[in-house]
Amino acid sequence: MHVTYALKIVPQLVSQDAYPTVTMFPLPMKVVYLRRFKDLHCVNLAGNPVCKDEDYKSFVAAYMPNLAYLDYRLLDEHAKEQALAKHQDAVEKTEHDELQVRKAVEDRLSQEDALQLHREAFVEFLNGSHLYDGMFTDDPQHQLGELCVQVFEMGLAQRQQREAEVQLFFAGLKEAVAENQQMAAQLVAQFEKRRRKWMQELQEVTDAHVQEVTIMQCHDDITQFRDAVMTLEMHLVDQLEDLIKDFERNISNMVGSFTETAQGIYPLYLSTSQPAALMSNCRDLENNHHKEVTEVAVATLEKVAKNTLTEELPDEVRMLFVSKDTLTNTASASNEKHLLHINNREDELVTRVNAWMAELMRRIQEEEVKRNRLRISEINSYIKYAKDRLHSVASDSLEAEYLGY
């Protein structure tokens, strides 16, 4: 697609303040932004202040290689080559800068896509020491970070399993509906064949009694057909209900396994039913850390009291060593804050994955109800159509007999 622009550049774009770093080409540089329009082939700059620069045509030709017409005049390849040779260094620098910008944008989008994937697995920011960094400024042993990575990797693996289960479910759902629709289509085709035969017979019948018997037979056939397709639909409803229940059970087991394992890695409240191996978790690491910090702090307090401390403490730190109660209360408050940080992340993971499951099941149930209602409505509409056509043909036949046609 060719794009043509007749530009009347506003004063803000041509003011020197808008591009304070431009030195060699103060005016032409203000239209370099047009390079972003790759399908721009014709530009008219007549009447713009940029045209006062004697070299602006050469500059535009060099910076806009896809341009075919400038000020409604053809730019031949020779002119473009000369312009590019003249401004080659500046053009190459611009291309390099543009490449860096594109790479930065691509990197940002790649990071956003990866983060979205992690969010869908409910393990964002667990692929490292992010949780630890939220509590401490340093993690020399990386134990907490390693536990978080375990949750992260397990979350991605569980997401793949859940996605596979979801795809398998919808494939089974689609197959069941298609098979049912095929059987229903066969019933409709058979019924339509019989219905056309009635219509022909009713149009040919002249005896009122015979016509009445034929109409009753047609009504019986319509009723039998309606019962058949309704029964078929009810079978499908039962089949899909069982399919949905199996899927809900499977996905619930997956989510439960994921949350239980994650909570086993950093539980807030360990029950006696949990294996002893789960004692090595985030909460234990924090409590062990708190214990070690408290021991070091008490030992330091004794040195401060005896004036045997060799290290010089900052004033704000020394204020903590006024008494043992002040020191232990501060350490306990820090410990509680760290545990709350772990608690919040655990709650977020469990709450979001369960909310995802609940929303998924709600949408599935809602779509099935909509499908069933639409199907029942289609059946009823078709039955009404068949009855209306039957009565219409019967009425026309009686009227024709009455008029002596």
Spans of all domains in the chain: 3-100, 121-405
For the chain, residues with pLDDT lower than 70 are: 1-31, 109, 111-112, 115, 118-145, 264-281, 394-405
Nearest Cα to Cα of residue 278 among 188, 190, 134, 151: 151
What pLDDT digit, counting tens, does each position of 283-327 carry?
777 787 778 778 877 787 777 777 777 777 777 777 777 778 877
pLDDT computed for residue 159 by the predictor: 87
pLDDT computed for residue 180 by the predictor: 95
pLDDT computed for residue 87 by the predictor: 80
Q: What percent of the chain clears pLDDT 90, i.e. is strictly above it?
A: 25
What 3-state DSSP class applies to 50?
helix
pTM for the structure as a whole? 0.57
Fold of 3-100: 3.80.10
What DSSP state is assigned to residue 177?
H
Own/partner pairs, 28-35, CB within 8 angstroms, 24+ separation: 28/53, 28/55, 28/56, 28/59, 28/60, 28/63, 31/7, 31/60, 32/63, 32/94, 34/5, 34/64, 35/63, 35/64, 35/94, 35/98
What pLDDT digit, counting tens, does each position of 278-295 carry?
323 677 777 877 787 788
pLDDT computed for residue 360 by the predictor: 94
